[in-house]
A and B are shown apart, each in its own frame.
Chain A
Amino acid sequence: MAIFMITLPLLGAVLVSIVGYLKPHWLPWGALVPLLASGVLGCMLIGRIPSDGYISYHLGNWSVPLGIELRVDYLALFLMLLICALGLLALIFSRRYIVKEVSAGRMTAYYVLILLLSGGLMGFVASGDIFNLFVFMEIVALSSYGLVAISANSRAVRAALRYLLMGAPASIIILLGIALLYMATGSLNMAELAGRIGQSGYREILIASFVLFVVGFGVKAALFPLHLWLPDAHSIAPSPVSALLSGLVVEVSIFGILRIAYSVFTPHVGNLTSATSNALAVLAAAGVIFGGVMALLQKDLKLMLAYSTISHVGYIFLGLTAFNAEGLTGAMYHMLDHGLAKACMFLCAGSFIYIKGFRRIEDLKGAWRQMPWTCFAFGLAAFSLVGIPPTAGFISKWYLILGNVKAGNWVYVVVLLLGSLLGAFYCFRILYYMFFQPGKEGAWTPRPADVPPSMLIPIWILAVATVFFGLFSGLVIPSLLKAAGLLI
């Protein structure tokens, strides 16, 4: 069933391109169908995964070293459902919004690329074969390059080209890492690799391969010194695309590192990974602070959100490098929380662009008079991003800090708290502008004239979800803790 979750969006992409040729105005509806179908399949999968393990699916009925294996555990399923949900909401939001930024001749490509992106992300997450991981990573990468460039003005294409010129070498580096891993072990299946790495005599090659993986995925996930492409790409892309890139693509790249670090180079292999993980933690901490400070300095709303993504990537990495179940759970839950909250905020930014056509933070003064619904949703998401108690952000940060306390990394605990403080500064500044500052004369109509419901509903679903997952974290956390405990 997991296989259909992955292949239905891919098939759907092809069918949607034909629909786009024959009946262009069916596009927004047609694109929903495959993602809806795979979402339903994902929900049906929830009960079927044994709580202490994973579903393994052998493609083409070939046994493990010969064929490719899909491996869906709770961590993967959790992310796959998040991908379906965010993809669907972004598509619903796009129907009215996207005509503002994308011309008619590119509309088919837009919907097809979103479907390919979601399919690729799900394939990436579910894969149990390290080369298959690479193949789906490339689908994700190529479709995100295309999506960044889709508005086809000079800024967008510049950002996309920059993204490509950093992303493509990163892919090559990962390919080289796979080559070294294969050279030292002679296998491509993750479970088999984990067994063989312990016995392999080629230590230097294994270390080099791990470093290459971290560098490659680090570029894709915008780890601190490798983040240069992110601010432009995430702020210039159309808002639903920014939501997907910030909320999913970056997270899933981190999940790639998680898979490599925990499932392939298991922590049991000894101090093979400890040196690199220490370095990683330092970079992540630097990223938290750097992203926060830069976000504070921005004047452009979407640029600020993009820098805040860099900061939150740092959080998730700090959870991974704690090397215990709490830290890992915190990281996974923070992926969920950041995905929902950041997507919501980017969609809100899209609403401001849709109504007013601007994106500077200063212009938001007094915005709540005209757009109360958007502003309140933005506020909820901002609370979650900062980590105010009833929201999901609080829970995830709690676990992140707990994990780091358990690991004895007090420095990183301080960094996490400092990052939250910075987050509070840059989020509440906007909220202050929105709610408590008088707007310029005539900038806003005194009576509410918000965006149409097809755009408000996705925003509010996301905003409510951040609160929901904060109040009812018991639904997800135990299974995450269990799955994380298995990996450690």
Chain B
Amino acid sequence: MNLSHNYLYAAAMLLFCIGLYNVIVRRNIVKKLIGLNIMETSVFFFYISLGYTRNGVAPVAGAGADPTRMVNPVPQVLVLTGIIVAVGVTALALSMVILLHRKYGTLDTDQIMRMARQEETQAAREEGN
């Protein structure tokens, strides 16, 4: 069957779903971000397995490697971009996490929302006076 033959694709999709579940469900922001990174790497994994050719060799010429046997270099280039994006987004998000923790002293999204709501009602009351 095709599914067992395309098992690398299937694995990538499975990891994608695990990552997405973590992003949706986890309340801790750092865990959400770990889930986000898992999602990202799973898509990269998908790209790379899509570039693979059976009995392929790395796309490095020299030493008489045969171009027809090399794996596809294009997905690899695209994934490099993806890795950069992943690092950038993670760094930005973590800096926000650090700042939020300074203000609220917690990493839990529910708690942060609760404290934020309290803050807002208080502000509204002050404005009303």
B78 and A160: CB pair below 8 A? no
Does A383 reach chain B (CB closer than 8 Å)? no
The interface-forming segment of A37-45, A170-178, A401-409, A461-469 is A170-178
Does A282 reach chain B (CB closer than 8 Å)? no
B81 and A152: CB pair below 8 A? no
Does B116 reach chain A (CB closer than 8 Å)? yes
For residues 1 through 32 of chain A, which have their beta carbon under 8 Å from a beta carbon of chain B? none
Give how many A-B residue pairs fall within 8 Å (CB-CB). Answer: 72
A169-B20, A172-B39, A179-B43 known; A161-B96 Cβ under 8 A: yes
1/0 contact trace for A332-365 toward B, CB 8 Å? 0000000000000000000000000000100000
At the interface, is chain A mostly helix, strand, loop or mixed?
helix
B46 and A176: CB pair below 8 A? yes
Does B56 reach chain A (CB closer than 8 Å)? no
A131 and B116: CB pair below 8 A? no
Residues of B within 8 A of A360 (CB): 127
8 Å CB contact of B75 from A134, A135, A172, A182: A182
By beta carbon, the residue of chain B nearest A153 is: B103
Does A146 reach chain B (CB closer than 8 Å)? yes
What distance in Å separates the Cβ of A71 from its nearest Cβ neighbour in chain B? 20
A154-B104, A171-B85, A175-B82 known; A161-B29 Cβ under 8 A: yes
A267 to B32, CA, bound (A): 39
What distance in Å separates the Cβ of B75 from its nearest Cβ neighbour in chain A? 7
By beta carbon, the residue of chain A nearest B36 is: A168
A154-B103, A179-B43, A183-B50 known; A160-B96 Cβ under 8 A: yes
Does A138 reach chain B (CB closer than 8 Å)? yes
For residues 121 through 157 of chain A, which have their beta carbon under 8 Å from a beta carbon of chain B? 131, 134-135, 138, 142, 145-146, 149, 152, 154-155, 157
- Most chain B beta-carbon contacts within 10 A, residue among A145, A169, A178: A169
B92 and A142: CB pair below 8 A? yes
B43 and A164: CB pair below 8 A? no
Does A414 reach chain B (CB closer than 8 Å)? no
At the interface, is chain B mostly helix, strand, loop or mixed?
helix
Residues of A within 8 A of B74 (CB): 182, 188
For residues 62 through 94 of chain B, which have their beta carbon under 8 Å from a beta carbon of chain A? 74-75, 78, 81-82, 85, 88-89, 92-93
8 Å CB contact of A164 from B16, B20, B82, B93: B93
Does B112 reach chain A (CB closer than 8 Å)? yes
Residues of A within 8 A of B23 (CB): 165, 169
8 Å CB contact of A168 from B29, B50, B93, B97: B93
A149 to B50, CA, bound (A): 37
For residues 1 through 34 of chain B, which have their beta carbon under 8 Å from a beta carbon of chain A? 16, 20, 23, 29, 32
A164 and B100: CB pair below 8 A? no
Residues of A within 8 A of B81 (CB): 131, 134-135
Does A482 reach chain B (CB closer than 8 Å)? no
Residues of B within 8 A of A178 (CB): 78
Residues of A within 8 A of B89 (CB): 142, 164, 168, 171
A158 to B108, CA, bound (A): 12
1/0 contact trace for A183-208 toward B, CB 8 Å? 10000100000000000000000000
What distance in Å separates the Cβ of A429 from its nearest Cβ neighbour in chain B? 20
A175 and B116: CB pair below 8 A? no
A158 to B102, CA, bound (A): 12
What distance in Å separates the Cβ of B77 from its nearest Cβ neighbour in chain A? 9
B88 and A179: CB pair below 8 A? no
By beta carbon, the residue of chain A nearest B119 is: A154
A149 and B88: CB pair below 8 A? no
A160 to B74, CA, bound (A): 33
A134 to B78, CA, bound (A): 10
B50 and A179: CB pair below 8 A? yes
By beta carbon, the residue of chain B nearest A175 is: B43
Q: Which residues of A contact B (CB under 8 A)?
A: 131, 134-135, 138, 142, 145-146, 149, 152, 154-155, 157-158, 160-161, 164-165, 168-169, 171-172, 175-176, 178-179, 182-183, 188, 360
Q: Other CB < 8 Å A-B pairs besides A164-B96, A182-B50, 9 of them? A: A131-B81, A154-B104, A154-B116, A158-B100, A161-B93, A165-B23, A179-B75, A182-B78, A183-B50
Q: Which residues of B contact A (CB under 8 A)?
A: 16, 20, 23, 29, 32, 36, 39-40, 43, 46-47, 50, 74-75, 78, 81-82, 85, 88-89, 92-93, 96-97, 99-100, 103-104, 112, 116, 119, 127
A and B contact pairs by CB, cutoff 8 A, 23 listed: A131-B78, A135-B81, A146-B92, A149-B96, A158-B112, A158-B116, A161-B93, A161-B96, A164-B93, A164-B96, A165-B36, A168-B36, A168-B93, A171-B85, A172-B39, A175-B82, A176-B43, A178-B78, A179-B43, A179-B50, A182-B50, A182-B74, A182-B75
